[in-house]
Structure 1
Amino acid sequence: MKYIWQYVKEFKGLLLLSLLGTLGFVVVTLGMPTLLAQLIDDVILGDVNRSVWPYFIIMVILASIGLVGRLITSYSSSKIVANMTMNMRNDAYEKMQDLSHHEFQELGVPSLTTRISSDAFILLQFTDMIIRQGFTAPMMIIVSVIMIITTSIELGVTILPLAPLIVVVVLLIARITLPISERQQKNLDRINRVLRESITGLRVIRAFNREDFQANRFAHANDNYRQESTSLFRWMAVTPALFSVVINLAIIAIIWFGAGFIERQTMQVGTVVAFIEYVFHALFSLMLFANIFMMYPRAQVSAGRLQEVLDTKISINEKPADQQIHDFPESGSLEFRDVDFAYPDADKPVLRNINFKTKAGETVAFIGSTGSGKSTIVKLIPRFYDVSKGQILVDGVDVRDYNLKELRSKIGYTPQKALLFTGDISDNLRFGKFDADEQDMEHATIISQAQEFISRLENHYQTHLAEGGSNLSGGQKQRLSIARSIIGGREIYIFDDSFSALDYKTDAAVRSALQEETKNATTVIVAQRVGTIMHADQIIVLDEGEIAAVGTHKELLATSPLYHEIAASQLSEEELNR
């Protein structure tokens, strides 16, 4: 398998060491029956006065060599598969970091989780099996067949028809189990999806008393996985049972025909005993080799799923380094020129003919009804998506001409959903500035009004946050998210409906503090509340993906019926006429 080999080939030295260890083990394993045959024929049934000590010493030496060989193989295999799996997961994770939101939607987050965890583990098991058994079994089969032919061709012919029968059955079962393995992994994806939705949506499920419904969804997905697994393991169980029967039949045949050879004095007892050992090792090794073929369909499916992640074409591509622009004619400016945007799987654009320009020190705000495209606009600036038509210029340069890291380092982005990571408050703030000290954190949290609740916490910035910041309120999470985006000092600040969980008093305090902090930067605000944006230099009113009006708060109240309608629904008559 090409996918596995591209990782395993990095450890050629360990592979060679494993091969040598396997060779030593095979020679010792098949050397024992030969020595045993000589002991039976020459001492036990021959010269009883002959000492057994030489045989005993040689057997101990052989056993020690075999043990060392086995340990070398186990050590090499363990090190190879552990490092291989780590590299597989790292590569898949690094590729995931480059995927756009569209690719994530296509592959599915639960499926990506399964691929990096479950599929990588299946490949670990398969590769370990290949190195431990895939090296040993062929050598053992070849050497065993040579010993069988050398010992007695006549007796070997009696078991010859069994080998092709086993091979045919194994190949047939492998072909049957391949589609079952594919369905099994897809069902595991479904289990992860339902489980993820059940955990993240637990409050909603309880609020609507839908525990039974969700439990049935999970049970249905789990039952489908059980059915496919049962079918797969049932077929896989056929091979060991078949081999047990074949090995027993082979031993019976050898004893039956061997007894006749002994009776005619054409073969000695020790030779028959050794022959049984050779046949047992040959057939047992064939069974081990068959296990690899049984495991192969599952590994093939898992390798294909991981390779699919690596082969996924990235829609957000960077220009080659020598074509990227690093000199900027302006600082902190932002401009949209005739921008249209349609999601990759959409039938029509969600944004049409978007044009505006703002410079450092100015604030531009977007308001409009739900689904008008407000959040979509700000996601285009850091290139979470690429425009379908037109240009977005940051500092006078098309965002597609930037190095992505350089572009995003200019932007402080506060998402619509305040997402915090497991760890301390300080860990989350350092996402905005990796080397931030306590003074930096204090400055940012004072501006975002987060200092007020952090100072009441026992461990302050070292307070541990649960997954997703679930031990904080929505407003506290939002304030920390704002602090994280401003702590590094940026040229452009984007607040995507980032004040929605704040009360009016805190909202006003945050915006007042931000004015001084962002006076030399461009500030982009998406909001539902007119009170949040009424002091912006430009307010852009969106309606069904198009700009319906542009102006200041007072200008729009006088000229835009849509803006006036929105403002009238939120502000008092006195505030409207102020």
Structure 2
Amino acid sequence: MNLMWRYAKKYKNYIFLNFLCVFSFILIELGLPTLLARIIDKGLVPKDFEVVKTTSVWMLAVCFAGLIGLILLAFCGSKISTSVIRDMRDDVFAKIQEFSHEEYDDFGISYLITATTNDAFQVMTFMQMMLRMGMVTPLMFIASFVMIIYKSPSLSVSVILAVPFLLMGVILIGKFSAPLSEAQQKGLDNINTNLRENLTGLRVIRAFINEKFQEGRFEKINKIYSETSKKLFKLMAVPQPGFSFIFNIILAIVIWFGASQINLGQLQVGELVAFIEYIFHALFSFMLFATVFMMYPRAAVSAHRIERILERVPRVTENINGITESKTHGYITFENVTFAYPGNSDEPILRDVSFSAKPGETVAFIGSTGSGKSTLIQLIPRFYDVTKGRIIIDGEDIRDYNLSFLRQKIGFIPQKALLFTGTISENIRYGKHDATQEEIESASKTAQAFDFINQKPDKFNEFLAEGGSNMSGGQKQRLSIARAIVKKPDIYIFDDSFSALDYQTDVKLRTALNSITKESTVLIVAQRVSTIMNADKILVLNEGNVVAEGTHRELLKTCDIYYDIASSQLTKEELE
């Protein structure tokens, strides 16, 4: 409730109007039985049709006013709930943008998607119910109860005796529904995870003819979710027939004793009709409030999941007051850097890594799979923070920089090329939003993408599908490289970004890069020795340690690990 109120209080005017509509609705709903009683007792029984006509006009006016009240109530409820969820989703999305990779690893992508979509929807549904029924029903119940006691204290005993049983039922259902709601949302997380993996890995699944296996996995997860949902919905279905049963019993008792009192002249027919209407409003209001109350555990679970995201303090922060200018551009120094993924501090991925790089220099990293190459370069733009040691760029610890300014210095090309839905031009301009068409074309030429772009029907306006799925792996890599080039950064980081290119394109691209990176620092992670042979400095990593450093020729003579890698890829002539 705190989360919902924190957002709802921004719309105080609508809440106030909603509250006025609630009061007017209650007065109208309870006024109609009173007017009906007057028609019966003062008009129909004594056959005074003037009273019938006058009171009927008042009833029509009350009904019309009630219609306006209901419309305004629905409008206010919808306006507040949709606005709150819009703001909440915006804040969740903005918060997710602040997360480092550690937070993504901790929450999981499926959790974040479910929280932004389904959990937010659950909160919105509850807020709508709360604003339309949660405010009306308690006040309606109290007002109806007062009218019941006022009209006939003796008949009200049957209603008073039923209330404890109703309360007990509501509390028990609310208690049992909370863990089921939490399990249901976790089940939805699992479904999202499985579905995401299935859609992402569709080619692998088909290549290994594992469609049936995947169907079995999904069926198992879906069955667990279905069983949990069934239990929850069965529990939520109990109140309505239970309330109807209790209401009918009370109604029968009231009519029985009411008829006796009419016979004795202690009660009038109109008063009995009004009394029954008051009972209906009281019990029906209680049932609706119970429905809202039973929805609360489910909404509370969803709100807690959203709040968990909003309250999470990212380990890597923006550092708003950090450094936003530097005298030099592109100088990098690693000083005894040790890094372990959060929760695995006993097993560092990198140990005491030290090296330096300067503008105009190309530094390459090579090693076996799992040696820590990609992890090392991900520390530079602060995707993670170092565990020990420090990374210095242009004379300052990277943690002292404003994060946006730091990343503005870096052109990062990830191992897996990722493109966004939109045109080729928009994807390249993602590196620099105000890039001109000439800059875009120049970057694409350097990245060896210009020719294949011009072969497309719409050229730079060619529309890319989700993730660039209508492009080949090599084309996606070249567009990713063009996106970094157009930015003209101080530091280029290539995380095995040439792996999908053929050797001829690889050579052309690296030759073209040399001409535009003369004043920049270039860091390359590669598996191909041919890609890094001309690097000014090559660092060989093995199990998180830098075991050798030097040029290609030097390492062939001094490092067995490097020689083994090179000999598996190069000819004898190239090794000499």
TM tier, smaller: over 0.9
Count matched residues: 575
Q: What is the CA distance between 1:239 and its match in structure 2?
A: 0.6
Q: Does 1:426 align with 2:425?
A: yes
| Segment of structure 1 superposing worse, 268-277 or 301-310 | 301-310
Instruction: Work out the CA distance in 1 between the residues paired with 2:120 and 2:528.
Output: 47
Q: Which residue of 2 aligns with 1:195?
A: 195
Q: Which residue of 1 aligns with 2:317?
A: 317
Q: What is the CA distance between 1:49 and its match in structure 2?
A: 4.4
Q: What is the CA distance between 1:345 and its match in structure 2?
A: 2.3
Q: Which residue of 2 aligns with 1:54?
A: 54
Please give the per-residue CA displacement for 1:407-449, whole angstroms capped at 9, x wherever unaligned. 0010000000001111111221121001122111101100001
Q: Does 1:238 align with 2:238?
A: yes
Kindly provide the amino acid, as one letter, of the partner of residue 505 in structure 2: T
1:294-373 alignment, distance < 5 Å = 294-319=294-319, 321=321, 324-346=322-344, 347-373=346-372
Q: What is the CA distance between 1:235 and its match in structure 2?
A: 0.9
Kindly provide the amino acid, as one letter, of the partner of residue 343 in structure 2: D
Kindly provide the amino acid, as one letter, of the partner of residue 337 in structure 1: E
Please give the per-residue CA displacement for 1:520-554, whole angstroms capped at 9, x wherever unaligned. 11011110111111111111111111111111112
Asked if structure 2 preserves the Cα contact closer than 8 Å seen for 1:26 and 1:140, the reply is yes
SS, match of residue 160 in structure 1: helix
Please give the per-residue CA displacement for 1:93-133, whole angstroms capped at 9, x wherever unaligned. 11111222122111111111111111110000111111000
Q: What is the CA distance between 1:31 and its match in structure 2?
A: 0.3
* TM-score, structure 1 normalization: 0.98
Please give the per-residue CA displacement for 1:23-63, whole angstroms capped at 9, x wherever unaligned. 11110111000000000111111124435321221111101
Q: Does 1:114 align with 2:114?
A: yes
Please give the per-residue CA displacement for 1:379-416, whole angstroms capped at 9, x wherever unaligned. 00000011111111111111000011000010000000
SS, match of residue 238 in structure 2: helix
| Segment of structure 1 superposing worse, 96-105 or 111-120 | 96-105
Instruction: Work out the CA distance in 1 between the residues paired with 2:199 and 2:410.
Output: 32
SS, match of residue 345 in structure 1: coil
Q: What is the CA distance between 1:330 and its match in structure 2?
A: 2.1
SS, match of residue 315 in structure 2: coil
For structure 1, which runs of at least 5 residues remain unmatched after alignment?
none
Q: Does 1:539 align with 2:538?
A: yes
Q: Which residue of 1 aligns with 2:493?
A: 494
Q: What is the CA distance between 1:12 and its match in structure 2?
A: 1.2
For structure 2, which runs of at least 5 residues remain unmatched after alignment?
none
Please give the per-residue CA displacement for 1:479-507, whole angstroms capped at 9, x wherever unaligned. 00000111111000000000000000000
Q: Which residue of 1 aligns with 2:567?
A: 568
Asked if structure 2 preserves the Cα contact closer than 8 Å seen for 1:318 and 1:401, the reply is no
SS, match of residue 50 in structure 2: coil
1:135-146 alignment, distance < 5 Å = 135-146=135-146
Q: Which residue of 2 aligns with 1:406?
A: 405
Kindly provide the amino acid, as one letter, of the partner of residue 373 in structure 2: K
Kindly provide the amino acid, as one letter, of the partner of residue 330 in structure 2: G
Instruction: Work out the CA distance in 2 between the residues paired with 1:116 and 1:501.
Output: 35
Kindly provide the amino acid, as one letter, of the partner of residue 394 in structure 1: I
SS, match of residue 430 in structure 1: helix
Q: Which residue of 1 aligns with 2:175?
A: 175
SS, match of residue 160 in structure 2: coil
SS, match of residue 351 in structure 2: strand
Please give the per-residue CA displacement for 1:167-200, whole angstroms capped at 9, x wherever unaligned. 1111011101111111111111111111111111
Q: What is the CA distance between 1:340 and its match in structure 2?
A: 1.0
Instruction: Work out the CA distance in 1 between the residues paired with 2:105 and 2:40.
Output: 70
Q: Which residue of 2 aligns with 1:26?
A: 26
SS, match of residue 32 in structure 1: helix
Q: Which residue of 2 aligns with 1:204?
A: 204
1:56-135 alignment, distance < 5 Å = 56-135=56-135
Kindly provide the amino acid, as one letter, of the partner of residue 551 in structure 1: G
Q: Which residue of 1 aligns with 2:394?
A: 395
Q: Which residue of 2 aligns with 1:522?
A: 521
Instruction: Work out the CA distance in 1 between the residues paired with 2:159 and 2:150.
Output: 15
Instruction: Work out the CA distance in 1 between the residues paired with 2:381 and 2:316.
Output: 11
The alignment-based identity, stated in percent, is 49
Instruction: Work out the CA distance in 2 between the residues paired with 1:477 and 1:319.
Output: 33
SS, match of residue 174 in structure 1: helix
Asked if structure 2 preserves the Cα contact closer than 8 Å seen for 1:318 and 1:400, the reply is no
Instruction: Work out the CA distance in 2 between the residues paired with 1:48 and 1:2.
Output: 56
Q: Which residue of 2 aligns with 1:213?
A: 213
Q: What is the CA distance between 1:318 and its match in structure 2?
A: 4.4
Q: What is the CA distance between 1:373 and its match in structure 2?
A: 0.9
Q: Over aligned residues, Cα RMSD in angstroms?
A: 1.2
